[in-house]
Amino acid sequence: MVNYAWLVKGVKPFGCYIYLSCTSNSMFFTMLAPAPALSPAPIPATIVEPSAAALAGADNFCSPLVAPPIPAPVELATAALTSVGGLPSSSVVAPPIPISVAEITGADSLPSSAAAALPLPKRKRGKMGAEEKKAARAAAKAMSKKIMQAIQGYVEKSNEMVDQIAKDQGISADSVHQLAGQLSAIKSKRASSNWNVLVSLKSMELNEDRPSGSKIPLAEIQDAVHDDEDFMHALRSDKGKMKKFREEFEDAKEEDQKTVMCVSTRVAALGAGKSLSACQGEQRERIDYINHTTGAWGFGVIACTSYSSTIQTGFFGRGNIDGFTCKSFNVSVQEFSCLLEDYACTSVTLSKKKIPTSNMPSATAKFILDGRCQLMKTSNIMMSYSCYDQDIKAAEGVMVEGWPDDIDFCAPLKLKVALQIKILYESWKSGNTHWRVMTAAEKRLVKEELAERKPTIRAKRSDARGSHKWKSKPVSDDEDAEDDDEADYQPMGSCAWKRRGAADADNGKGVGKKGVPKRRFNAADDEEPEQPSKKSEASKLVKKAAKKSSIPITAKGKKFRPGSKASIVEAQMAETRAQLKEMCQERAQEEEEEDDSVVLLTLVMLVLLSFAILIMT
């Protein structure tokens, strides 16, 4: 997030200071009216821009509206409010304690070199004279300049160290700042003792239906635990039962934190609202400090950019700001805030385009992946819908909550109904459907369901070693005719014409199709040996007999078992041929009937025509 801040001094016609702050998500300005005692005459309008180092480190700010520490009250007329780049929000120095000072002119200031050589006074300010106060102010100014130079060097070095750590560890600089801020809060987590677990369970049991003002005290709960035989038996000797009690305790504890673990747009909106409220409070304190110290006036407005936003538009200030806005703009401060809100909402709404239905599936898929990446704190992950239980719920411990019941759990791109696509998109956009961390009980339940679904391994068979072939049934004489018909089936393939040509040549019918040469007729071909399937025992006997008699076999007739795929296909083809034949016969019969009717009609017309001619004559 980038912050830019400028101080426009002496803007006509009002003669006030305006502190402008612009971020990527909000607009903010503050008007500071100088006190008459400090600024009797209008000051020429100037704009003081921040330094290049300050702009370079502006991305490290955690809060969009965090301003730098306000300079001393004496320098308010000539100082610029700039952002201190590179420092995290926790390192921003608080405003100094207000002190009473006197007005100083340019002639009273000392050179910086002479001021740097003077030591800081040790006496109290009330006992100082005029010269001592001048020397003290000059020394403080030199010290402040020296400290800011040292801080600037520290910021530059810390940024270099952060970049180096991020490069070495393969993470972003923002993650380094976040982890550095959380380092002091990380503590070793201690497990609850068995006695505390039992006391907690007994407390939940006894105080379940009691109101908040009439809870049972801890001493009575401990006595109830001592009187409970099951609890004491589990505590002393039964480890399995104590394990179940601990799981129940952890489940109840995680149920209380379930709402905190949700990741949705509403959580982000609440966080933004809290940061803006805190920022508004800080700005109010700053303006109060300025008004108390110098008597200057100022006010600021924060406006939301959407009417459905959870952020409320508000203003803050010190002085007769309402009179100023009524005289200059003919509106009150409240009306001024509402006008800014209307303008912001209208401009943002007009600049946004409504997403078409065709792009909603891809937008929904992006919502799903972004939510999971935000929860898992990783990137470049894939979503598996078919293996959702084992790859995501059981392995990662996260789940989707709030998926619409009337929509199948599948990828959004696979949905074909426009209404379902819109419902799923609006559900993810509004936050009703979101990712969340599973509790220990839910993880345990998922693992148990997967264990039940997991197929059991078959026991090792006794004859694991050796070959296991299908035993063929002996071929009877009644099946020979049927097998002969099935053996004639030739499946269509790349070399089907060769097999058909070879079969025709074997039968002695002449040259086959596609130029297959004719084979000489042999008397031994009248009774060709059958070739059943290779797995049958009869085929082995036929092969041996063929080898002994040395009969040339050019075409191998394959034998198919009844009920096999080839026999089923052959039966279907025969049925189809019979149906085609019947259709041809019916069509020929219909044509003959039509021809007879045409001839009969022609004869009737001739007879009528002849009668008409006779009548006319």
Interval 524-576: pLDDT, tens: 444 444 444 444 555 565 566 555 544 444 434 445 455 556 667 777 788 88
Same domain, residue pair 438 and 382: yes
Residues 494 and 555 occupy one common structural domain: yes
| CA 373 centroid distance within chain | 6
Mean pLDDT of 338-344: 86
pLDDT at position 97 over 50: no
Mean pLDDT of all residues in 95-116: 43
Per-residue pLDDT band for 352 (boundaries 50, 70, 90) equals low
Using the predicted structure, report yes or no on whether residue 172 has a pLDDT greater than 60.
yes
**What is the rounded CA–CA span in Å between residue 326 and residue 334?**
11
Residues 6+ apart with CB under 8 A from 556: 531
404 and 366 housed in the same domain = yes
Residue 169: pLDDT band by 50, 70, 90 thresholds? confident
Residues 506 and 436 in one domain: no
Q: Does 373 lie in the same domain as 328?
A: no
Q: Could you report how far apart the first and last alpha carbons of the chain are, in Å? A: 114
**Backbone φ, ψ for residue 333 (5° rounding):** -65, -40
Reduced to 3 states, what is the DSSP secondary structure of residue 532? coil
Given pLDDT bands bounded at 50, 70 and 90, which one contains residue 277? low
CATH code, 430: 3.90.1460
Whether residues 326 and 389 fall in one domain: no
Q: Are residues 311 and 363 in the same domain?
A: no
Number of domains in the chain: 3
Residues 376 and 440 both lie in one domain: yes
Whether 370 and 324 share a structural domain: no
Q: Give the best-scoring range by mean pLDDT among 266-280, 336-350, 436-450.
A: 436-450
Residue 128 domain flag: no
3-state secondary structure of 610: helix
Task: Assess whether 413 and 376 both reside in one domain.
Answer: yes
Average pLDDT for residues 164-174, to the nearest whole number?
A: 86
Q: Write down which residue in 453, 488, 505 finishes a domain.
A: 453
Q: Is residue 584 part of a domain?
A: no
150: burial class by Cβ within 10 Å (0-12, 13-18, 19+)?
exposed
Point out the least confidently predicted range of 60-74, 228-242, 502-516. Answer: 60-74
211 is a domain residue:
no
Q: Is 50 exceeded by the pLDDT of residue 429?
A: yes
Residue 557 lies in a domain: yes
Question: Is 365 inside a domain boundary?
Answer: yes
* 528 vs 506: CA distance, rounded Å: 10
- 577 lies in a domain? no
pTM of the model: 0.34
Q: Decide if pLDDT at 372 tops 70.
A: yes
How far is Cα 338 from Cα 314, in angstroms, rounded to an integer? 9
Closest by CA to 490, choosing from 573, 580, 578, is: 573
Same domain membership, residue 371 and residue 321: no
Q: How confident is the model at residue 1 (pLDDT cuts 50, 70, 90)?
A: very low
Domain final residue pick, 408, 437, 453: 453
Which of the four pLDDT bands, split at 50, 70 and 90, describes residue 290?
confident
Give pLDDT, residue 350: 66
How far is CA 392 from its chain centroid? 13
The whole-number pLDDT of residue 256 equals 63
C-alpha span between 32 and 321 (Å, rounded) = 11
pLDDT of 403: 92
Q: Which of 2-6, 14-18, 315-319 is most confident?
A: 315-319
Assess whether pLDDT exceeds 60 at residue 485. no
Q: Which of 291, 314, 349 is a domain's end point? A: 349
By the 10 Å C-beta count (0-12 exposed, 13-18 middle, 19+ buried), 10 is classed as middle
Lowest mean pLDDT among 170-184, 280-294, 315-329, 348-362: 170-184
Q: For position 144, what pLDDT does the model report? A: 87
More confident residue, 476 or 99: 476
Among the ranges given (180-194, 305-319, 502-516), the one the predictor scored with the smallest mean pLDDT: 502-516
Class of residue 318 by CB neighbours under 10 A (exposed 0-12, middle 13-18, buried 19+): buried
Q: Which domain holds residue 501?
A: 479-562
As a whole-number percent, the residues of the chain with pLDDT over 90 amount to: 4
Predicted local confidence at residue 222, as pLDDT: 92
Same domain, 331 and 385: no
Q: Is 298 inside any structural domain?
A: yes
Q: Which residue has the tokens 């303006």?
A: 287
For the cut 50, the answer to whether the pLDDT of residue 67 exceeds it is no
* Cα angle value 144/149/152 (rounded, 5°): 120
Give domain status of residue 17, yes or no: yes
Each residue's pLDDT tens digit, 209-268:
888 778 888 999 999 999 998 899 988 888 888 988 888 888 877 766 655 444 444 445
Mean pLDDT, all residues of the chain: 69
| Higher-pLDDT residue of 148, 515 | 148
